[in-house]
Amino acid sequence: MRRVVRRRLIIGAAIVMAALLAFIGVGLHGMYAGRGSARGRMVSLDVPSGASTRRIARMLQAGGVIGNAFWFRVYLAVSGQARYLQAGNYRFHGGETIPQAVAELRQGAVTFNTVSVTIPEGFTVRQIGSLLQRDGVCSDRAFMAAAVKGNFPQFWFVRMIPKNPLIRDRLEGYLFPNTYDFVRGESVSRVLVKILTETAQILSPALVARMKADHLTVAQTLTVGSLIEREAKLASDRPLIASVIFNRLHRHPPMPLQMDASIEYALGHTTTDLTAADLAIKSPYNTYTHMGLPPGPIANPGLPSIRAALYPAHTDYYYYVARFDGSGGNYYATTYAQQLANSARSQRNLARLQAGGQKAGGHKVVPGQPAKPGGARTHG
């Protein structure tokens, strides 16, 4: 009887050992021979921060980097390397072995041609294109072509951009300023999808609900936000400038906005010396000669300016002018008479700054040009 039991134990152990060896053999095959389907080409993948090993494994298999997500996770568990994987933008050689892919994920994307690009608040689409080209991400020309004509139907707010032929650059205002990690030579569509994905996060349900409560579209909100972004130097001025914009829009009869920043957008460059000819430029973005908001945003606003557009201060201001006292702030006024007094005060401050050899930090009134009513930093 004992011999029978012993024989059965030996046979059982042999079967278990054979199964284990087969399992290990299959695993080794999966790790080393079962390469991904993308052999011979580069595969770009974004590994987000906090991603689970299951999610990373699926991304690698779906991209053709590795052949089997299950064995990827087994390898991580056996080798104890799961906690060392780093988030980032990677360029893998498609069809790698699992150990090769894990080694790259441990080293981090910084070693794989990744560049961090900061898009400042208030940058235009054209400035962003130049920035990306300077940092070697993509060409300016390709970026602008995609920004003007590219289709991104996966983003609801892009589908809602007005089909207005007067809009200069279609995605202006919709590219949220932030710091992004790109791969040098990354496709323009991937670059824009990455930025638009961030914009989608910013346009939260709460923010959209506020727009609806204020009877504003996304386009109107971002347009007002862009004007605020380009006009305000101080955070405290944002809701005040917003109040001037809405007070003028809602006045009966309405007043032209007369924002210097819109003139700069029409000109294509910033300047501290806006002339009478500049203020008369023929452009739908000229808020001195056209009533209401410009056709679309004039820059890409940050969240504080977007929020200021949705939560303006409650004032009776219709005018403001740059202080030129070194603070970066504005003087505000309800009446044109008060605006004229503030403009004279502003010019005295400017003269003192110039006498002291300091920069004004804003627009200045052209000599001989009378101060104009409006919402601009100098003239309004």
Reported as a single tens digit per residue, the pLDDT across 294-313 is: 999 999 999 999 999 999 99
Give the burial string for 221-239 (b: 16+ CB within 10 Å, else e). bbbbbbbbbbbbbeeebbb
Give dist(CA 324, CA 342) in Å, integer: 11
86-100, 208-222, 224-238, 249-263: lowest mean pLDDT where? Answer: 86-100
> Which position has the token pair 């595969």?
43
Average pLDDT of the segment spanning 261-290: 90
Q: Residue 273 carries which DSSP code?
A: -
pLDDT score for 39: 62
Q: CATH assignment of 29-111? A: 3.30.1490.480
- State the Cα–Cα distance between residues 258 and 320, nearest whole angstrom: 11
What span, in angstroms and rounded, lies between the C-alpha atoms of 34 and 98? Answer: 9
pLDDT confidence bin for 163, thresholds 50/70/90: very high
Q: Say what the pLDDT of residue 110 is.
A: 56
Instruction: Please give the sequence-ordered ranges of beta strands (E in DSSP) within the chain, or none if there are none.
Output: 42-47, 88-93, 114-118, 179-183, 319-322, 330-333
Lowest mean pLDDT among 54-58, 162-166, 319-323, 368-372: 368-372
**Peptide bond preceding 253 in cis form (omega within 30 of 0):** yes
SS (H, E, C) 282-319: CCCCCCCCCCCCCCCCCCCCCHHHHHHHHCCCCCCCCE
pLDDT at 104: 86
Residue 33 predicted with pLDDT over 50 = no
Residue 366's pLDDT band (cuts 50, 70, 90): very low
Write down the mean pLDDT value for the chain: 84
Domains of the chain by residue range: 29-111, 114-202, 205-355
pLDDT at 380: 52
Percent of the chain residues past pLDDT 90, beyond the cut = 59
**Model-level pTM greater than 0.75?**
no
Q: How far is CA 165 from CA 128, 169, 170, 343, in A?
A: 22, 10, 9, 37
